[in-house]
Structure 1
């Protein structure tokens, strides 16, 4: 029977997610409903449904947006083609792309002008990867694992740079970067790694949490890359781990014979879901909750111009 819940620190919302949700909510107040959002603003079912209730309409194709409407790009970023089409269609546009993803886009554009090609480490089909690869017409080679590195065929290797999706497993990415460097010794790495501070901090917190508990619960939606990485990490460290979208997904059988439960949340999961999970675990017998020591995140990203409320 579960007796104690240990909370990872930090967990839950990061500055980029906070900003993206604020952009949608400010736009709804300032311009009224509906506000159109290309792709899920962040990968969390609860957040998306809450914004839908407030008047946001989530779309994938810009043809679904009426002329003159307000359009917001999701936190994952979009390709240049999508940006240009949106401008051509005359929408009022606000870009909720996480500034740490935008930093990768800026670096790409700068190095591309200098004649670089790129190896991108990321998950095929993920909207952030599509947005980043869509910054250039060609010259970006996607690798998902070490095996892919051997298959990459850049046109030249004199000027080659590596970039990564911001929500990867830090350990997986390091392994793939090592394989890239072994094959392309002259490859240029980012000055600061592309994996964002929040992804790194949450993974470090799980590394601290896992050895102290009998089972780990990660609050996050199935589409959330960084949440999936947290569950995989705990698993890899030898602690059974499960990801839940909400407290309703908890299976009492997971806690049979387990004394301590570790709890964390992906960067797009709101604290209200964590509290609901704690409540459910108390119903299942947990008597105490303890937060582990961890990094206190103080980063805040400003809203785009034109969205400040009077």
Structure 2
């Protein structure tokens, strides 16, 4: 008996997608630390927000913890790509723990900006999401009370600075470009003298991935975002897809998580991946679709990324 022909399905593959330079660097730091110092190497918080990446590194000998108190003093510790408060390296130094800082250089740039504004006597508004490790790390660069967190447009409209003439803002690097633009516009309308970053804090990878989703959203009947539920940049891609005209957007952590019932009656699906999701997980989604449909792939490219961040000096030739 001949099998029924598979229904045709067009997949619009957003490019850029997946790993950014900061994520790639952070993962390499853990891998090379294990090569150089042997297992175990401790990692404070998930190195990046992706379960597949974390489990693979565990298999190599990484031990993930949430606090330095869980770390012995005779093993290296890696700080995650999201950045940490200043108190964390200070504690490591006090205990003579050798540490490697895998903070994304673009997050470190925000830390430097915040310090510069503080040194200039400005009150600082941080646009970001409460509790996110990057926000905790950025606020922890300065004394308590130096940074005020604004999460929403309503928050920006209600914020009251100590001195409107001495105010600055910085942002989390993984926010919605459009949402952040609205919040910044509100701050500038209320406080025309507010000091802005020299260059936008939302990172190139977040901006490019959102632009790629916008480029395919109005053609796709379903958008599949490969990412983790605790990944800020992945969550933003789901939101951006829906706002840009896609009837439905879902997040999956890997191929087996995709509910094929969502593809019933659908002729065109968009696929992207958050900056902490490896390409192998995108391939899993494509494999699952190919098992049930006659898939034609159209890659939609909005930018080329050639940025590479250097590893710490001691690991470059591990």
Shorter-chain TM range is: over 0.9
C-alpha distance in structure 2 between counterparts of 1:284 and 1:151, whole Å: 51
Q: Is the 8 A contact 1:117 1:160 kept in 2?
A: yes
Deviates more, 1:14-23 or 1:143-152: 143-152
Residues 44-101 of structure 1: CA deviation (Å, up to 9, x unaligned)? 0100111011111111111100012201110000001112111111111110000000
Correspondence for 2:64: 58
Aligned pairs, number: 310
Correspondence for 1:97: 103
Correspondence for 2:120: 114
Structure 1 residue ranges without an equivalent (≥5): none
Q: Is the 8 A contact 1:35 1:55 kept in 2?
A: yes
Task: Provide the alpha-carbon RMSD of the alignment.
Answer: 1.1
1:49 aligns with 2:55: yes
Structure 2 residue ranges without an equivalent (≥5): 1-6
Q: In the TM superposition, what is the alpha-carbon distance from 1:2 to its structure 2 partner?
A: 5.1
C-alpha distance in structure 1 between counterparts of 2:23 and 2:172, whole Å: 16
1:181 aligns with 2:167: no
> Counterpart of 1:78 in 2: which secondary structure?
coil
Q: In the TM superposition, what is the alpha-carbon distance from 1:151 to its structure 2 partner?
A: 3.3
C-alpha distance in structure 1 between counterparts of 2:27 and 2:208, whole Å: 21
The equivalent position to 1:143 in structure 2, one of 144, 150, 157, is: 150
C-alpha distance in structure 1 between counterparts of 2:241 and 2:205, whole Å: 17
Residues 152-182 of structure 1: CA deviation (Å, up to 9, x unaligned)? 2332222111100000000000001111112
Residues 100-144 of structure 1: CA deviation (Å, up to 9, x unaligned)? 000011111122111111111000000000000000013211000
C-alpha distance in structure 1 between counterparts of 2:120 and 2:236, whole Å: 34
**TM-score, structure 2 normalization:** 0.95
The equivalent position to 1:209 in structure 2, one of 207, 211, 216, is: 216
- Residues 2 and 87 (structure 1), Cα distance of their counterparts in 2 relative to 1, 3 Å cut: farther
Q: Which runs of 4+ in 1 moved over 3 A?
A: none
Q: Matches of residues 200-239 of structure 1 in structure 2 within 5 Å?
A: 200-239=207-246
> Counterpart of 2:272 in 1: which secondary structure?
strand
Q: Matches of residues 1-310 of structure 1 in structure 2 within 5 Å?
A: 1=7, 3-137=9-143, 138-239=145-246, 240-310=248-318
Residues 193-231 of structure 1: CA deviation (Å, up to 9, x unaligned)? 100000000000001011122111000000000000001
C-alpha distance in structure 2 between counterparts of 1:267 and 1:2, whole Å: 29
**TM-score, structure 1 normalization:** 0.98
Q: Is the 8 A contact 2:25 2:309 kept in 1?
A: yes
